[in-house]
Amino acid sequence: MRPEIAGGSVPHRYAHKDRHVIARASAYADRGLKGPKGFLATSQWLCAAFTELRFEHFEVLAEDERVAVLATMTGRHTGAFQGLPPTNHRFAQRQFHLFRLRAGQIVEHAAQRDDLGLLLHLGWRRRGEK
């Protein structure tokens, strides 16, 4: 991730400027990185696959240390994603995120997305399927 993008998304102290660390992190975005490194890796992975990327929230519910967010991720598929070459298709994907906070910091995150639906929308097909 370009540091100027990261710097606008997370506190400056988490915007890692070492390209080698960022490259290694982005290669393993789906393999369980946690904390700021995981956030940066996932952001890099998404920005490499999609331009015009936006997250818009529809609803946020909070009680005690739990926060639930219903959001839509939108963008244009302009880079490789899960092995699928760029299609230039626009997309919108609904997502649900559940966060647990402690002392104002996110300590746990779970998400529910329709990744298969997104891949099918972008044009992915099983071998031999048209």
Q: What is the CATH number of the domain that holds 80?
A: 3.10.450.50
> The pTM is what?
0.69
Domain total for the chain? 1
Whether 19 and 62 have beta carbons less than 8 Å apart is answered as no
* Residue 73 near residue 54 (C-beta atoms within 8 A): yes
Judge whether 70 lies within some domain.
Answer: yes
Q: What rounded mean pLDDT belongs to the chain?
A: 78
Does some domain include residue 129? no
For residue 67, the enclosing domain spans 3-122
Q: Is residue 14 part of a domain?
A: yes
Question: Is residue 29's pLDDT more than 60?
Answer: no
At 61-89, the pLDDT tens digits run 999 999 999 999 999 999 999 889 999 99
| CB-based contact 66:109 (threshold 8 Å) | no
